[in-house]
Structure formats: structure tokens, C-alpha cells
Amino acid sequence: MSDSLSLYIDRRSGLHRLNPLTKLTVAGFCLIAGLSLPGLLSGYVLLIGVLIPLSVWGSVSRAFLGRTWKVVLPFVISVILIQGLLWRGGTPLVAIGPISFKQEGVLFAVTSVGRMLAVVGSFLLLSLSTRPDSLMIGLTQHGFSASVSYIILTTLQIVPRFQAKARQILDAQRARGLETEGNILTRLKALLPLLGPLILSSIIEVEDRAIALEARAFKRSGPKTSLQVLHDSAPQQAARRLMLIAAPLLVILRLVFEVVR
């Protein structure tokens, strides 16, 4: 069952039973590794060797692959066109008159797409397999401030919330007779009646959230209790420590690689 306020999909899987901090650490490690590891295929190796097997283990592979593709597709098209056509110098692969795709630009675009897949995929997998409230509880129980935990929670929820609000406003505008389907001009005309209510409702929601947090003693100092008990294990704690040690080492190795090269 999907939560309309998040990307979370409820499954009875080993991935879902992991501690939220373990999954957050995996996502952060994949992000750093995707940006730090050299090589044309480093991002694709992370996607195929780590993220897709984890999504299969968590029974969310279909949603994971579909959402990742939808997010990355506009970036794929733009970066290949821009880098392939506008790369200065280089070896032409395909030429049509004065316009040509450069080999170096295409290789750079392929590398960038792989890194983007690793970055986007890591946090999509975290969102699909982790309840936002569990992640916030896990962060606060391990010493993070409530403000930092809330910022992370809000970041994970912002896209699903905007999508849900946009759907509600779009349905309301359609009920009033607004044409939202057709050619590009018709869709552009429908955009303004959608953006205004969306922005205003988001501003109102910020105030409602602030009032709700104040009513729940969000800024109260001292220890807080929770009805939800998060399970952790020694192997998970050890794995988190290893990833936290390995992540900065990858950054250092990348810097050394760039200097030596």
C-alpha cells in the first residue's frame, strides 16, 4: 500500500525490516560512490550491482525502475544532445552538414547519466522502502536534532506532496470545465490555473505544519518517547560504520586520481 504523502510502498521484505539508518547510510554511500568512482561505467555498476538487487530484495523493483527512468529521462535527452552537439573539438561520430555528434561529448554524457542514475536511484530506493516517520524516529533516537530530522523527512516528502496537491487541483479545474488535454498550447494555458492554487496551498500548508509541530512540543528539550520501536542489530551497525569510513576514502581516492591523471 502506498502512502499518498510519500513514495513508500509497504512490503514484507528483508529490505523493509532493515533499520532506517542503515538504508539512509546505503543511500548516502551510493551517492558518494556514484560521484567519486572513476570510469565510464561506475554509475551503471552501482545501479546493476547494488541498487537493482536491493530493489528486488525489497519487492519494489518495478516501481523503482519506473520512477528512476521517469526522473532521469529528461536529463538523459538533454545531456546527450547538449554534450554531443556542443562539445568543443573532438571526433565526429555522426555529421549532418555543419552539425555533428562528438565522440568525447557522448562519452561524457553517458558517464554523467550513469552517475545520475546512481544518485537518483539510491534515494528513490530509500523512499520506496522506508517509512518517513520511522526514519525521523531513527535519527532522533541516535542523537540527531529534531530540526535536522524534520528537514530530511520533509525533503523526502516534498515531491509526493506536490504531486498529490497537483492532482487534486487538476481534478478540481477539470470539474470546472478547464481543458487540460490536447496540444501544447492548450496545456500551457492550463498551467497558470494550476500553479497559482498549488503555490498558495503550499504556503498555507507550511503554516499548518508549524502550528501542528508547536502543538506536539516539537522544540521541547529533553528526551522524548515513541510508540514505535525500531530494531537494530550488530551487523547493521558494523555495516554502517564501514560505509561511513569508506565514503570519505572514496572521495580522497578520486582527488588523488584526478591529480595523478
The phi, psi pair for 2, rounded to 5°, reads -95, 140
* Position 83 in a domain: yes
Q: What is the reported pLDDT for 241?
A: 95
Provide the residue range defining the domain that includes 177. 143-220
- Tens of pLDDT along 36-59? 888 888 889 999 999 999 999 999
DSSP string, 149-195: HHHHHHHHHHHHHHHHHHHHHHHHHHHTT---SSSHHHHHHHHHHHH
User: Is 170 in the same domain as 248?
Assistant: no
Q: Kindly report the pTM of this predicted structure.
A: 0.74
For residues 60 and 102, membership in a common domain is answered with yes
Angle subtended at Cα 42 by Cα 40 and Cα 43, rounded to the nearest 5 degrees: 105
What are 124-176's pLDDT values in tens digits? 999 899 988 788 888 877 777 767 767 777 766 676 676 677 777 777 777 77
* Whether 213 and 106 share a structural domain: no
Dist CA 92 CA 98 (whole Å): 11
Q: Which of 7, 60, 8, 52 is nearest to 30 (CA)?
A: 52
Question: How much of the chain, in percent, has pLDDT values that exceed 90?
Answer: 26
Specify whether 105 is located in the same domain as 149: no
Q: Check whether residue 12 and residue 113 sit in a common domain.
A: yes
Q: What is the per-residue pLDDT for 217?
A: 63
> Are 94 and 171 part of one and the same domain?
no
My answer on whether 83 and 156 are in the same domain is no
pLDDT band at 2 (very low <50, low <70, confident <90, very high): very low
pLDDT digits (tens, 9 = 90+) for 178-206: 666 766 676 666 677 777 777 777 777 76
d(CA 158, CA 212): 17
User: Can you tell me whether residue 86 is helix, strand or coil?
Assistant: helix
The pLDDT-based confidence of 60 (bands split at 50, 70, 90) is very high
Q: What angle do CA 49, 53, 59 make, to 5 degrees?
A: 160
- Please tell me the total count of domains within the chain: 2
Closest CA to 111 of 140, 135, 75, 151: 75
Do 20 and 40 have their domain in common? Answer: yes
Give, in order, the Cα–Cα distances in Å from 236 to each of 23, 24, 38, 148, 232: 10, 12, 28, 22, 7
